[in-house]
Amino acid sequence: MFKNTTLKNEDLLLFKSIDRPYVFLKKMVKSYKNLRTELRSLLSKNAVESAFNYFNKQDLVFWGEQQGPRFREMTFLATLFKDTSGYGYEKVLKEIKNNYPVSKKSLQHNVEITRKILAEWSEKEEIKLGDLDQWRKAAKNLGARNEFKRVTLWMDSTDMKRFRPKGVGKKHESWSYKLQGAGRRYMILADAKRMVRKFWGILTKNI
């Protein structure tokens, strides 16, 4: 029911399923400035800035021996870069090593922390449940049949693709028959205009 291309909440653009990993131009990932520019273009400037502002207010401890003035923002960008490119940690480090001199273990640790904050940001700052009046207004001109005229919200699951998974076959818990490949399942609640009102996950495939 819900197609990722029609979801309107900007925050979902940070985590949405795409047909294949985004292909970053080689010349674009060598500097902090170019990496930031391309991520803003890919995910929308407003979404990236909103997420970073929330992230930057948190009291977080990152790993890394050389933490210059842009270390915190590079941690944020490195996380977005990894999750949109589908690259492994070693590949990410190779691409940004001049701007982010950390070990693979440190990068993994920092990415895990950042992901948790981004999930928190989406719940608190972006996805709004709303109220019955808002849901009814969205459904007002839907033109539904009589038995559905009082329906204001719809719920469905969506599987989001995992990129370059290893050892995932049809019997693996991450296998998705919807995707015919590895994926993670989420539940989405949306109004009549396909505005996402609630987002749950990761769910088991049995739900």
61-100, pLDDT tens digit by residue?
Answer: 999 977 888 999 999 999 999 988 878 899 999 988 888 9
**Mean pLDDT of the chain, nearest integer:** 80
**pLDDT greater than 70 at residue 2:** no
| Cα–Cα distance measured from residue 73 to residue 56, given in angstroms and rounded to the nearest whole number | 8
Can you give the pLDDT at residue 18? 40
Given a contact cutoff of 8 angstroms between Cβ atoms, the answer to whether 135 and 103 are in contact is no
What pLDDT, on the 0 to 100 scale, is given for residue 55? 97
Split at pLDDT 50, 70, 90, the class of 164 is: low
Region 144-166: what's the mean pLDDT? 80
Asked if residue 103 lies in contact with residue 119, where contact means CB atoms within 8 angstroms, the answer is no
Q: Which long-range contacts (CB under 8 A, 24 or more apart) does 109-113 make?
A: 109/62, 109/63, 110/62, 110/63, 110/64, 110/75, 110/78, 110/79, 111/75, 111/78, 111/79, 111/82, 113/60, 113/62
pLDDT band of residue 205 (cuts 50, 70, 90) is low
Distances (CA, A) of 161 to 34, 39, 119, 149: 27, 20, 18, 34
Cα separations in angstroms, 183 against 27, 94, 143, 201? 30, 26, 35, 12
pTM over 0.85: no
What per-residue confidence (pLDDT) applies to 104?
A: 95
Q: How confident is the model at residue 204 (pLDDT cuts 50, 70, 90)?
A: low
